[in-house]
Amino acid sequence: MASLRIGLAQLDPVVGDLVGNRALVLDAYRRASEAGCDVVVFSELVVTGYPPEDLVLKPGFVRDTRTVLDDIAKETGDCIAIVGFVDVGSGTHSATGRPVIHNAAAVCGHGAVHGVYRKRLLPNYDVFDEERTFTPGSGAHHLYEIAGVRVAISICEDIWYADGPVAEQAAGGAQLNLSLNSSPYHRGKSANREIMLARRARENACAIVYVNQVGGQDELVFDGGSMLFDTSGALVGRLANFTDGLLVADLDVPDTPANPTLPVTVLSSTSRADGPCRESVIEPVVTDLAELYEALVVGTRDYVRKNGFTDVVIGLSGGIDSSLVACVAVDALGAEHVHGVSMPSRYSSQGSKDDAYALAEELGIDVRTISIEPAFQAYLEMLEPSFTGRSADLTEENLQSRCRGQILMALSNKFGWMVLTTGNKSEMAVGYFTIYGDSVGGYAVIKDVFKTDVFALSRFVNERAGTEVIPESVLTKPPSAELRPDQRDDQSLPPYDVLDAVLEMYVERDMTAAEIIEIGLPSDVVRRIARLVDINEYKRRQCPPGVRVTEKAFGKDRRLPITNGYRG
């Protein structure tokens, strides 16, 4: 029985910040080395951050990445570091003429790079398009002996397939597989990962170290949840989701036949120096709503801060959407960095204005009132000669929303605050928002959250706090844009439980309208919703990015043509 002390370094790198990422890696390496680790594993492409997208098409960026990797390797000693980076292959692409590059992991120790593993399976679905930039690795697998244990390396997609590289490596003599990952969050994914990894360890009788990054990157948010499984598939260590950290664990690996069929490079023939290891920690999983809320918080925090902003501004209507966004922003950035603006018009109810201020007071955020009435009246007077003889309609409603957008952007320009928009996925889907109005801003916090989940998350916020952070009146009053007298959302849209049920099938599951109707839903309702989704693609394309929390987010995942004549 061999014993290996392993460090799982769960970090939050910034895409393109090679110097900053080097510092993160070296700091975690020093801590792992001081803890007596034989090996420390970092996440996929930790040097560049993930996903680097077209940065890797810049030869200078790739050269700089290799320089940083070599700098990291020079700082290593007896503790072996497995570091994700971009590697240059041999030759050029026949179609593009660009150099071949690989998504790779370097085996670093004793001041040098001792080997490189190149990702074999490249994902090209959902948010992934690695085949566009990377070339899959090829050739024979290779094992490394560390403290008497034969170790193989894999990268993310490689481990998801039962007959993939991990199985080949185990069959060739690997006792432990070190898997580097940058696996973004969506609801339900963490549970699926754990089931898959346990099965992979058990079916191959091979222990698995799974290291995932954390943090937000544009629309994506990475939940971490790095894990360690023994050869029976039992979970023996897990880091918390959505937070960085270093897990140190001693793993006992049963002896296996002494003659592996894959080549082995010996990197360390003796185990760690004597010394106690803190107990391997299995952080508890949280509820689905708590996980979803934390994803929104982390995605918002990192988008704001990584792009150089400190403060945000939110239009507080007194409605449930802006209330939830304000709560997320406070948890992400702190109350002192969140600014609310109430922008009433002639149609704003006193109750909504009171609710906006009650929320701001409960959260402890700065709030001000800027009436849009003078601007709205000026627009009406300016346009009156052109609109003579035509009755008021959606045009006047949209004017109010655009007045509010102008005010928020003016505050953003003057004070350097990022505008957070407040539209939810249900509204985004059917175009129930004003382009160049309430869609104006830098980040759309809940753009991938259906309205029914907005209600559930809002109640979660109050239950977690044990008080009415979001006023109960906000949760119970009929949703309304308040752009005309006595307006309610259900005058323009089906009830949200019906709307979201259709959208879940039409958007999330890619069912056609005809297939949804066959289930038994009313034909007129389904056809209307489907048509609204289709004709508003052009509006969604002009909206800011936001946190992706489902498997079919607008933008990254769902890419339909604007000009589209299909009506299934």
Q: Indicate the pairing of strand 312-315 with strand 338-342.
A: parallel
Q: What is the pLDDT of residue 174?
A: 94
Higher pLDDT, 17 or 96: 17
Q: Between the CA of residue 209 and those of 133, 166, 231, 238, 377, what are the distances in Å?
A: 27, 12, 11, 10, 63
* Distance of alpha carbon 420 from alpha carbon 438, whole angstroms: 10
CATH class of 289-488: alpha beta
Q: Which pLDDT tens digit goes with each residue over 5-48? A: 999 999 999 999 999 999 999 999 999 999 999 999 999 999 99
Q: Which pLDDT tens digit goes with each residue over 376-427? A: 999 999 999 999 999 999 898 999 999 999 999 999 999 999 999 999 999 9
Q: Which pLDDT tens digit goes with each residue over 445-492? A: 999 999 999 999 999 999 999 999 999 999 998 877 666 677 776 777
Q: What is the DSSP letter of 449?
A: S
- Compute the CA torsion angle 287, 292, 296, 298 (nearest 10 deg): 50
Q: What is the pLDDT of residue 178?
A: 98
Q: Which pLDDT tens digit goes with each residue over 238-259? A: 999 999 999 999 998 888 777 8
Dump strand ranges (E) for 60-124. 80-92, 99-109, 112-118
The count of residues in the chain is: 568
Q: What is the pLDDT of residue 555?
A: 85
* Distance of alpha carbon 203 from alpha carbon 177, whole angstroms: 13
2-276 shares its CATH topology with 289-488: no
* Confidence band, pLDDT 50/70/90 cuts, at residue 370: very high
Q: Which pLDDT tens digit goes with each residue over 517-543? A: 999 999 999 999 999 999 999 999 999
Q: Between the CA of residue 32 and those of 7, 77, 85, 187, 247, what are the distances in Å?
A: 6, 11, 20, 31, 9
Helix, strand and coil percent figures for the chain, each rounded to 5? 40, 20, 40
Q: What is the pLDDT of residue 47?
A: 98
- Three-state secondary structure call for residue 233: coil
DSSP readout, 200-214? HHHHHT-EEEEEE-E
Q: What is the pLDDT of residue 98?
A: 81
Are 312 and 339 contacting, i.e. CB atoms less than 8 angstroms apart? yes
Q: What is the pLDDT of residue 11?
A: 98
Name the residue among 224, 82, 87 with its Cα closest to residue 154: 82
* Confidence band, pLDDT 50/70/90 cuts, at residue 80: very high
Average predicted confidence (pLDDT) for the chain: 92
Higher pLDDT, 184 or 256: 184
Q: What is the pLDDT of residue 46?
A: 98
- Three-state secondary structure call for residue 442: coil
Residue extents of the structural domains in the chain = 2-276, 289-488
- Judged against a pLDDT cut of 70, whether residue 560 lies above it is answered with yes
Name the residue among 554, 519, 522 with its Cα closest to residue 538: 554
Residues with a catalytic annotation lie at: 44, 119, 156
Q: What is the DSSP letter of 39?
A: E
Higher pLDDT, 263 or 86: 86
- State the angle between helix axes of 451-465 and 288-306 in degrees (0 to 180), rounded to the nearest 10: 100
Q: What is the pLDDT of residue 264?
A: 86
Q: Is the peptide bond before 495 cis (omega within 30 degrees of 0)?
A: no
- Judged against a pLDDT cut of 80, whether residue 112 lies above it is answered with yes
The radius of gyration of the chain's CA atoms, rounded to the nearest angstrom, is 27
Tokens, residue 521: 């839903």
Percent pLDDT > 90 in the chain is 79
Residue 393 one-letter amino acid = D
On the CB side of 565, CA atoms within 13 Å amount to 0
Q: How far is C-alpha 96 from the geometric centre of its chain's CA atoms?
A: 31
Q: What is the pLDDT of residue 258?
A: 75
* Distance of alpha carbon 441 from alpha carbon 345, whole angstroms: 20
Q: What is the pLDDT of residue 279?
A: 62
Q: Which pLDDT tens digit goes with each residue over 217-229? A: 999 999 999 999 9
* Confidence band, pLDDT 50/70/90 cuts, at residue 284: confident
Are 375 and 403 contacting, i.e. CB atoms less than 8 angstroms apart? yes
Q: What is the pLDDT of residue 270?
A: 57
What pTM does this model have? 0.94
Q: Per CATH, the architecture of 2-276 is what? A: 4-Layer Sandwich (3.60)
- Judged against a pLDDT cut of 60, whether residue 274 lies above it is answered with no
